[in-house]
Structure 1
Amino acid sequence: MRRIRDEILSGALAPGERLIEEQLTQRFGTSRAPLREALRSLGQQGLVEHLPRRGVRVAELSSEDVDELFGLRDVLERYAVRTALPAGAGPRDVTGLAEALDGMAAAAEAGDPLAENEFHRRFHVALVSLAGHRQLLLVYEPVILKLQLYMAANLRREAEQRAASEGVERHRRLFEAVASGDAALALDALSRHGARTYIG
């Protein structure tokens, strides 16, 4: 159920918050069977946790979880860039990256951190998609989805600590490096990209 997923990833449903079936069926106007299927699917994605005899809650990530996820993201993205930009291949079609970057910029300009967070996810998925490696993408998407959960939980704090344009400019530099078709330049930009910030 996309509405529950969107509320989790927007921070409207907070990490650790219990998800009570009766309340959710009334709120979303659905029956228990599709709701349970949606919660099962969200559990497989790592966005909710099913607790024995205690129901379901929005997943919480420890600092160790977050560090491990950022480390995985880095390894997978570096592999994607090396695969997408072999020596002498030249520039690639970066339309998907450009569209996500434009979306991030518009969301930052509008002061909409939730939309910026979503376009951030799309940017990184588009980056990995350049490799044309289906299995890599299947491994990568759950990682960036869980990191979006972490980012959503920190939207307010991060919005207070950084300029709205900071994340956009960091992604613009990465976009330009990837668009150049130069793998070494792109890998250098990726290493300077910054992993532990909200819109890293």
Structure 2
Amino acid sequence: MKMKRECMSDRVKQVLIERILNGTYEPGKRLVELQIAKDMETSQAPVREALRELEAMRLVDSQPYRGTRVREVSLHEMQESYQVRGELEALAARLSAPKFHNNPQPLQTVQVVFRDAALAKDLKVLARQNATFHRLIVETSGNSVLLHTWDSLNFEAWTRINLELSQNKIDPLCFVKEHQQIINAFVQGDGNTAAELLRQHAQTTVLTPETQEAAFPL
């Protein structure tokens, strides 16, 4: 019985994580145990366990008299998060550069889908493919500690991207251009340039549209 409950708790946790990261549950939304349990056709116990784990992952906050809510991320937190992400991805770029120099196809495939989504203004696909692009670079580094650390910053990243895209504060085609510059550096076998481009890319994510264009000229 305990094993079955733990398995259900894991399933509930994964569904909640997906809903938080894709924007179904927006920052500040209250997550009610009973409602989630009914929605997922389970008891409240695995939901309660899942919410405790999400709180440990900093995806939700639980406070007396307010219940459990999706954590709201301040601009300052996002800026700090992207500063760290930029450095992590710069390291990942240097480590993964030889592999992408030999085979850039995985990144190019993601880029095609990302570009099509940008042209179609499909925000959900854009956010998902943006995460796929960056995670692929970190995964290809072959450093599991680096990947785990990068993954721990996902919530802040998704919150920022979803917010900016939904409010038209980011021109998706700017992201397409920046991603292509990164791919070009990998194709040329230039890990240092790819690293610097990724660092700049992280910085421009929390800038205004005007400063994005200035930071990444054509």
Both structures adopt the same fold (TM-score exceeding 0.5)? yes
The Cα shift of 1:162 comes to 4.5
The residue matched to 1:91 in structure 2 has which SS? Answer: helix
Counterpart among 39, 60, 65 of residue 27 in structure 1: 39
The 4+ residue runs of structure 1 with deviation greater than 6 A are none
Counterpart in the other structure of 1:133: 143
Counterpart among 182, 185, 197 of residue 190 in structure 2: 182
1:10-48 C-alpha deviation (Å, 9 max, x unpaired): 222221111111122222333212322332332233221
Counterpart in the other structure of 1:72: 84
More helix per residue: 1 or 2?
2
Counterpart in the other structure of 1:82: 94
Contact between 2:92 and 2:137, CA under 8 Å: does it hold in 1?
yes
Residues 1:146 and 1:164: Cα distance change in structure 2 (over 3 Å):
closer
Counterpart in the other structure of 1:113: 123
The residue matched to 2:61 in structure 1 has which SS? Answer: strand
Counterpart in the other structure of 2:61: 49
Count of residue correspondences: 196
Distance of 2:80 and 2:62 partners within structure 1: 22
The residue type paired with residue 183 of structure 1 is G
Distance of 1:73 and 1:95 partners within structure 2: 24
The residue matched to 1:165 in structure 2 has which SS? Answer: helix
The residue type paired with residue 125 of structure 2 is A
Distance of 1:149 and 1:21 partners within structure 2: 23
Residues 1:94 and 1:41: Cα distance change in structure 2 (over 3 Å):
farther
Distance of 1:106 and 1:164 partners within structure 2: 10
Is residue 159 of structure 2 the alignment partner of residue 149 of structure 1?
A: yes
Residues 1:125 and 1:53: Cα distance change in structure 2 (over 3 Å):
same
Cα root mean square deviation, aligned: 2.6
- TM normalised by structure 1 equals 0.83
The Cα shift of 1:175 comes to 1.7
The residue type paired with residue 129 of structure 2 is F
Counterpart in the other structure of 2:52: 40
Distance of 1:175 and 1:145 partners within structure 2: 25
- Unmatched 5+ residue regions in structure 2? 1-11, 213-218
Contact between 2:89 and 2:199, CA under 8 Å: does it hold in 1?
no
Counterpart among 151, 168, 173 of residue 176 in structure 2: 168
Residues 1:172 and 1:20: Cα distance change in structure 2 (over 3 Å):
same
The Cα shift of 1:90 comes to 8.2
- TM normalised by structure 2 equals 0.77
Kindly name which structure, 1 or 2, has the bigger radius of gyration based on alpha carbons. 2
Residues 1:169 and 1:72: Cα distance change in structure 2 (over 3 Å):
same
1:133-192 C-alpha deviation (Å, 9 max, x unpaired): 0111011111133311232233321x3x45442222221211221232212321342244
Counterpart in the other structure of 1:195: 205
